[in-house]
C-alpha cells in the first residue's frame, strides 16, 4: 500500500509529534481533535518545534513552510476519509480509545489501516471493536516523536503481514528504526521501563535519596541520558500510573502494583511537565 496521507486522531504531545514526523518526510497529514483550540495548539507546537530545527540550521525556511503546508488541522472526522492510514493518538484510556476506534471503523473505507499509539493496552483487544482486525496494528511512537528513533510495531492476533509491512515501511520513511513486537501488556520497552520508574518512586517514598540524587545515580551509574523521575515527568505521571494499572490487572502479579506516592502525585494533579509540576517544578 502506498501511504501518501496519514490521519491522526489527537493533537496533543504524541499526535502533533507524529504529525511533524510525517510532514517533514513529505507525507500529508490530517490531524483531528475535538476542539479547535486543541487543533490550533497542536499545529502551533509543530511550528515551534520546526523553528528550533531552523535555528539549529537543520532545516530551511522553505522546509518549514512545506512541512506546515502538509498538515491540515480539523475537528471533523470526515476529513480523515482521504487517508490510507489513520493513527489513534488519544489519551491512554481504554474506553476512550474504543469509542474513537468504533467511530473510525464506521467512517473509513474497508481497505484503510487503523493504528493505535497505545503504550500498554492490548492490540488484539482494541482490534476486536473494529470490523478490520487484520488491518489493525499498534504503532508505538516515543516522546518526543521528532527526536526519538524507535517505533514499536505491535501485531495483534489477526494483524496481517501486509498491514505489518505497510506500517513498517512507513516508519522507515519517517526516518525511524522500527522493531516488531508481539502483543503483550506494555510490549517491550514500557514493560521494562515503567516498572523501573515505579520502583524509583518507591525509592523516593522510602526516603532513600532525594529526587535529584536518584536521577543522578541512574544517569551516572547506568549511563542513562535522563533519570527515571525526570523521565516520568516528561512522560506524564498519569500515563505511568495508567500503564502500571494495566500491568497489575493483566498479569495479576503484585510486583506491578503502582507506588502509593505515584498515585498521590496524580491525585494532586502533579502530572509532570504538562502541568508545570510533577516530581520537579517546571514553573516559569
- For the annotated catalytic residues, the residue numbers are 119, 140, 152, 190
Contacts made by residues 229-233, CB under 8 angstroms, sequence distance 24+:
229/197, 229/200, 229/201, 229/204, 229/279, 229/280, 230/279, 230/280, 231/197, 232/197, 232/200, 232/201, 232/262, 232/272, 232/278, 232/279, 233/272, 233/273, 233/278, 233/279, 233/280, 233/282
Unique residue bearing C-alpha cell 493505535: 116
CA distance to 146, 216, 227, per residue, from 224 (Å): 20, 9, 7
Amino acid at each position: 500500500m502506498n501511504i501518501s496521507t496519514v490521519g491522526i486522531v489527537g493533537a496533543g504531545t504524541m499526535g502533533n509529534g507524529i504529525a511533524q514526523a510525517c510532514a517533514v518526510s513529505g507525507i500529508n497529514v490530517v490531524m483531528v481533535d475535538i476542539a479547535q483550540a486543541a487543533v490550533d495548539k497542536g499545529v502551533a507546537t509543530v511550528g515551534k518545534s520546526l523553528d528550533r530545527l531552523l535555528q539549529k540550521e537543520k532545516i530551511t525556511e522553505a522546509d518549514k513552510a512545506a512541512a506546515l503546508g502538509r498538515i491540515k488541522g480539523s475537528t471533523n472526522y470526515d476529513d480523515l476519509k482521504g487517508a490510507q492510514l489513520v493513527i489513534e493518538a488519544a489519551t491512554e484510556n481504554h474506553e476512550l480509545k474504543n469509542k474513537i476506534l468504533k467511530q473510525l471503523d464506521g467512517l473509513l473505507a474497508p481497505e484503510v489501516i487503523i493504528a493505535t499509539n497505545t503504550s500498554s493496552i492490548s492490540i488484539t483487544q482494541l482490534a476486536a471493536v473494529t470490523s478490520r482486525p487484520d488491518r489493525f496494528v499498534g504503532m508505538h511512537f516515543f516522546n518526543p516523536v521528532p527526536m526519538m528513533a524507535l517505533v514499536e510495531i505491535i501485531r495483534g492476533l489477526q494483524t496481517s503481514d501486509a498491514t505489518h509491512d505497510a506500517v513498517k515501511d512507513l516508519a522507515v520513511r519517517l526516518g525511524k528504526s522500527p522493531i516488531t513486537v508481539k502483543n503483550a501488556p506494555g510490549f517491550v520497552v514500557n514493560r521494562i521501563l515503567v516498572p523501573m520508574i515505579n520502583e524509583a518512586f518507591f525509592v523516593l517514598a522510602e526516603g532513600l535519596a532525594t529526587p535529584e540524587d536518584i536521577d543522578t545515580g541512574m544517569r551516572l551509574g547506568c549511563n542513562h541520558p535522563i533519570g527515571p523521575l525526570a523521565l516520568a515527568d516528561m512522560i506524564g505521571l498519569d500515563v505511568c500510573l495508567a500503564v502500571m494499572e494495566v500491568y497489575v490487572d493483566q498479569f495479576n502479579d503484585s510486583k506491578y502494583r503502582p507506588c502509593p506516592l505515584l498515585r498521590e502525585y496524580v491525585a494532586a494533579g502533579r502530572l509532570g511537565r504538562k502541568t508545570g509540576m510533577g516530581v520537579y517544578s517546571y514553573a516559569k
